[in-house]
Structure formats: structure tokens, C-alpha cells
Chain A
């Protein structure tokens, strides 16, 4: 292992040293190829594949999941040093001595993502068969879902930042296509464009970071960069880290690039569950954890990650408290939970494993709750306003119970998955960075509040249904994924038993030194649980004890009003970026129209006018021509005389 300076949090930063993949591991490209083939067949096959397209899409996803499980089991049987498998499919870019290979890397970190993406992805494919049953463009929907899964797997399996970028753009494309899937709705088309444009800002950060790596290290592969990252100047590493963070902010909807996520809820609900809750939006966390060899050597960038994370986790939670649209509440919650993951990732070696742990448990319970919300909407004629729900627990028992389990997981009810994952992050934050820890603690209380509010408004309190609404339970194809995900939400915490996930990820992210905590860990858990309980009790007190009005009350505090407007995220973008940009563009347009065009057109008008005058000399009278000739001769002769005589 190459010598590297000691990182701030202690311990060495591991170097990525993949061994050439052999046996089953050399088939890792199939993980990507299967869903990609599904997408290609469904997109090129056209209407001929309409009847069985959804089945093929689901099958390729499950096949990829099966292979992922097999590889995971294989990897479990290997020693710690043999778990990083590299595979160069072909030379991607060759220019002189400069080569970028199309590298894949399957290591303990990426295999967890493979399982999450293909596992949750397959369940959501299954669910979509029922959810999209009446949509005439269902085949296309499955093609896009397959494309997404392939791109996301490319993102996590790439062994090179350039490969990550390929997947990064691929998931961005799939996200755009799926948010705008119901493109006949202007709001959906606008939301898709908004997501795409804001993501462009983040993507620019990622691409600049990769370019800077090329310049600094001469390579962008994980192996190459991690081997020499410690030798670069800290300034360079800080800039790379901040640019990577910008990319992560765009994809993971972190402040200041958060505004697109709430609008992204215009897409079909399975998309919200898969892309905008469980997988794609967590890509930013993956990027930060994967680039740990950069961030460990750039403490400033790490601090910025923590700041962004804390702002976002409060920001999202506050939005979640005020919205009445069930999907937007969940979107705010997603933003907030990703803030927790970012916080974990920003804490360095001590937090990487917990960030990934929370990412996985969040993938389970948030996908579960989004699909549950979809199931509610399915039974309520696509109503999303929680003020039109109420007392649905009897009408939809399976949805209610599964959603309830997800709810208990997200608020951190003891021994549910969220309890372990969130507690570990808050605990680490309190020890490493007390300010961030307190912010995370408050966020946990707010989470308890808004999730309880959602539960009460949807499943309890008075009926506020629309007149023609006949809520009913969804078909089995939709409830089975719910049950599976709910089970996972409950038992997801097993990953932390005996600190398994910490040791599993240690070869990738390094191992933190054991802290001697000032108080036993159980105290942290108790404090956090009490804070959450206060949030829950507040929600029960404020929302649950009386009838919920059908219309949102208008005499509310300025904070509520701000939260309903997404804390003015759009207004800030409008004021800081869109407005000045528009002024700039307009002034450039005016300059072009008046100055540049004026100069060009003025010249042409001048010449035109002059020639209009001059042509009057061509009057058709022979004698005037003769006079002109004579005059010319006299002038020439006169000039000659002057010259000769002078």
C-alpha cells in the first residue's frame, strides 16, 4: 500500500487496488448489459412488444438482481483483500500516451449498491405492472425504467470517474424522461425540464472535477487517483472536492440545487420511489463516499459537505411539515434524509459506513412509503392532497400496515431499521462535530412531526374524501412489493449487527479508530428517541386531536407560509440566477439588435441610399452622357496641363 499522509480522522485512506476479475466476477458486465438490453429491445421493438414489454422489463431487472445476489454470496466467501474486482472491458479513449479504459469495479461498496438498485428496482418494476396497467404507454415506461437501472448500475460499477460520469448522465436522462412521462401535462413537462437544467449545473461540477483530475493526476481511475491523491496540494484537492460536492448537490437535491426534487413528483409514483427516493438521488452520497481519498485529504471540502448536509436536512424537514401533497411531503423528507447521509459522508472515516447504511435502509423504507402513497393514490383516483384523505386505514389495510412500518422506520422507532442507521449518524455527528449533531438531532424531531402528520392526515382523522371517491385496496401485484419492502424496512437494521457493515466497507473507506465516548451509546439512543417522541407528540396534539379542514388554513405563521412555498427555493433561484441571467441575455439581445445589427444594416442602408441617388445620373438622355464625357475629358486635360506646366 502506498504511503499516504494520515487523514484528519485517523487511520490510512485505503488505495483502490482491484485484482483482475476472474470466474463469475468477470460476468459483472452482465449486470449492466441485461437491463440495457431490455431497454433497447423495448425501445426499438415498438408496438410489437406492447403485450409482453412489461414482463421483459421486469425479467431483466430480476435477472440482474439474481446475478447480483450470486456475486454478493461469492464475495462473502472471499478474504478481505480479494473483494475488489476490476474488469477492463475495452480501451475507451486513447490519445498518445493517454488512455482511459472502460473499467468496471466490483467491490464491497458497489455490490451493496447493486443489490439495492436491482432489488428495490425489481420490486418497483413488479409494482409498476399493476400501477401502470391502464396506461397505454406502459411498454415505454418499462423501457425507461430498464434504461435507468442500467445507467445507475453503470454509475456504481464504474472503476473510473469518467465511467461514473457516463452513468451519471444516463440516470439524469432517464430521470428527465420519467419525470416528464406524462408529457401531455404542462406541469410534468416543465418539471422534467427543471430537473434537467438544475442537474446540468451539478454535472458541470462533476465534469470540471474530472478534468481537474486529468490535469493533476493524469488519470481519472479510482485506482490511479487514490494512489497519488495524498501527494497533490491541498488546494487542488479542496477544489476537486468542492466540484464533486457541486455534482453531488445537483443529483442528490442538496441545497442550493434542491429545487427540482419537489417538482419531480410530477412523474409516475413508481418513478418517485425508485429514482427520486431510493436510488438516483443517493448517487451524490455514493460519489462523496467513493471519492473518500479526495475528501480525506481536503478537510475544508469535508466541512462544506457537513454544512450543506445540515442545511438540507433541516430545509427538507421544514418543507415536509407544511405541504399537503403527500408526495411532496415525502419528497421533502427524502431531501432531509439524504441530508443525513451527506452528513455521515461529510464526517469522514467515522461516518462513511453509516452514510451507506442509512442510504440502504432509507432505500427500503422510503421506496416502501412512496409505493404506499402510490397505492393510496391508485385507490383515490390519483388524488394527492392529504386534505382529501383521512380514515383510510380501514379501506386499505395492507397499504396502511406496510406504510405504518415504513413510518416507524423513518422516525427511528426503536429496533426498526431507521433507528439504527439514523442514530449512528447523529451519534457520530455529536461526537465529531457537535453543531452538526444538534442540527441532526433537531431534524430527527422534525421528522417525527411531519411523518406523524402525514400518517394522521392520511390514515386517521375524519373522512374528507371527494364525493365520487371509492377507496379500495390495490391488487396483489402492487401489495406484494409493499409487503417485501415493509419487511426490509423493519429488519434492515441487521446490517449493523456486530458492526458488520463497518467491517464490510473498511477495505473501501477505511476504518475509524475506536472512540472512547464520554457516555455510553445507549444514552444517545435515548436522547434521540425522546426528541423524536416530542415531535410525534406535537403532531398528535396539533393535527390528530381535531378534524382536519378540507381547505388549508390561510391565517398561518410566516414560517408555514415560507415552508408551503418550499422555503422560497424557486424565488431564490429566480432572484439570484434566472433573473440576472435573463437581464444579461436581454441586454445582449438588445446590444445585438441595436449596435451590431445597427452597424451592419446602417452600412447597407447607407450604400443603398447612395446608389439610389447615383443611379439618377443614368437618365437615358444621350446628350447628358456626352456632356459627362466632355466634362471628363476637360478634367483630364486640365489635370494634365496643370501637371505639365507646374
Chain B
């Protein structure tokens, strides 16, 4: 069971590092998905370990949220790219103090 959890942790760490380091909105977005799926993996693993379905149900919810997020997030990224000719998240920093 431990390898799954370790894998999940590694995937999550990669995703988090990607979000913090990369500027391209698409890549950041993919890293977010990676983190979601890392947590999904952990949930499923724990469900298996505990012998019930609750973790798997939670994983389904996460997938639904991720799907919705993709719809909204990609639409935003598309719009930003069209108006600014750039997909850099650092360029989109107007909403501040």
C-alpha cells in the first residue's frame, strides 16, 4: 500500500512545484490537474486499505469538480490569451492593491 501513497505524494509535489514555478497558464493548469489526480490516487488507496467505498466516492466528486474547473479555467485562459496575446500568469496581475 505504501508505494501508492508515495507515488501520490511525489505526483502532488511535482504538481505543486509546477504551479509555483511555471508561468504558462496552460502548464500551471495541467499541474493543478496533476495535484487533483494525486489526491485522487491517495483517496482510492485509502479506500482500498479501509475496505469501504467512501474514498472512491470522494474521488468521483474530485473528478467532477476537475471537469467543471477545466471548462471554466480553459475558457478564462482562452479569453486572456485573446485579449493580451500572452498566456503568462504573471502578466495577468492587474487585480491587486
- The residues of A with any CB-CB pair to B shorter than 8 Å are 615-616, 618-623, 626-627, 630
Give the chain B neighbours of A618 by CB distance below 8 A: 96-97
Complex interface bits, B15-30 against A, C-beta within 8 A gives 1, otherwise 0: 0100110010000100
- Let me know if B71 is at the binding interface, CB within 8 A: no
Q: Is the CB of A623 within 8 A of B20?
A: yes
- Residue of A619, A623, A626 touching B96 (CB-CB under 8 A): A619
CB distance from B15 to the nearest CB of A (A): 11
Q: Is the CB of B20 within 8 A of A627?
A: yes
How many Å lie between the Cα of A631 and that of B20 in the bound state?
A: 12
CB distance from A33 to the nearest CB of B (A): 75
- Let me know if B58 is at the binding interface, CB within 8 A: no
Q: Is the CB of B97 within 8 A of A616?
A: yes
Give the chain A neighbours of B97 by CB distance below 8 A: 615-616, 618-620
Q: Is the CB of B16 within 8 A of A621?
A: no
Q: Is the CB of B93 within 8 A of A621?
A: yes
Complex interface bits, B42-83 against A, C-beta within 8 A gives 1, otherwise 0: 000000000000000000000000000000000000000000
How many Å lie between the Cα of A627 and that of B92 in the bound state?
A: 17
CB distance from A617 to the nearest CB of B (A): 8
Give the chain B neighbours of A616 by CB distance below 8 A: 97
Give the chain B neighbours of A626 by CB distance below 8 A: 19-20
CB distance from A641 to the nearest CB of B (A): 14
How many Å lie between the Cα of A620 and that of B96 in the bound state?
A: 5
Q: Is the CB of A623 within 8 A of B89?
A: yes
User: Looking across the interface, which residue of chain B has its beta carbon closest to that of A612?
Assistant: B97
CB distance from A638 to the nearest CB of B (A): 15
How many Å lie between the Cα of A100 and that of B13 in the bound state?
A: 90
- Looking at chain B, what size class is its interface with the partner chain? 10 to 19
- Let me know if B1 is at the binding interface, CB within 8 A: no
Q: Is the CB of B93 within 8 A of A630?
A: no
How many Å lie between the Cα of A621 and that of B23 in the bound state?
A: 10
How many Å lie between the Cα of A630 and that of B20 in the bound state?
A: 9
CB distance from A421 to the nearest CB of B (A): 89
CB distance from B86 to the nearest CB of A (A): 14
- Residue of A619, A620, A622, A630 touching B16 (CB-CB under 8 A): A630
User: Looking across the interface, which residue of chain B has its beta carbon closest to that of A615?
Assistant: B97
Give the chain B neighbours of A615 by CB distance below 8 A: 97
User: Looking across the interface, which residue of chain B has its beta carbon closest to that of A614?
Assistant: B97
Give the chain B neighbours of A622 by CB distance below 8 A: 28, 89-90, 92-93
Q: Is the CB of A623 within 8 A of B90?
A: yes
User: Looking across the interface, which residue of chain B has its beta carbon closest to that of A633?
Assistant: B16
How many Å lie between the Cα of A223 and that of B96 in the bound state?
A: 82
Give the chain A neighbours of B94 by CB distance below 8 A: 620
Give the chain A neighbours of B19 by CB distance below 8 A: 623, 626
CB distance from B36 to the nearest CB of A (A): 14
CB distance from B64 to the nearest CB of A (A): 22
How many Å lie between the Cα of A621 and that of B97 in the bound state?
A: 11
Pairs of residues from A and B, 6 with the lowest C-beta to C-beta distance, nearest first: A620-B96, A620-B93, A615-B97, A618-B97, A622-B89, A626-B19
How many Å lie between the Cα of A626 and that of B20 in the bound state?
A: 7
Sample of 6 more A-B contacts, CB < 8 Å, known A623-B89, A623-B90: A618-B96, A618-B97, A619-B93, A619-B96, A622-B93, A623-B23
User: Looking across the interface, which residue of chain B has its beta carbon closest to that of A621?
Assistant: B93
Give the chain B neighbours of A627 by CB distance below 8 A: 20
How many Å lie between the Cα of A626 and that of B16 in the bound state?
A: 9
User: Looking across the interface, which residue of chain B has its beta carbon closest to that of A623?
Assistant: B20
How many Å lie between the Cα of A616 and that of B28 in the bound state?
A: 24
How many Å lie between the Cα of A615 and that of B97 in the bound state?
A: 6
Q: A615-B97, A616-B97 are contacts. A621–B20 as well, Cβ < 8 Å?
A: no
- Residue of B20, B28, B95 touching A620 (CB-CB under 8 A): B95
How many Å lie between the Cα of A623 and that of B16 in the bound state?
A: 10
Interface-centre pick from A615, A622, A627 (highest chain B CB count, 10 A): A622
How many Å lie between the Cα of A626 and that of B18 in the bound state?
A: 11
How many Å lie between the Cα of A618 and that of B96 in the bound state?
A: 5
> Can you list 28 contacts pairing A with B, beta carbon distance less than 8 Å?
A615-B97, A616-B97, A618-B96, A618-B97, A619-B93, A619-B96, A619-B97, A620-B93, A620-B94, A620-B95, A620-B96, A620-B97, A621-B89, A621-B90, A621-B93, A622-B28, A622-B89, A622-B90, A622-B93, A623-B20, A623-B23, A623-B28, A623-B89, A623-B90, A626-B20, A627-B20, A630-B16, A630-B20
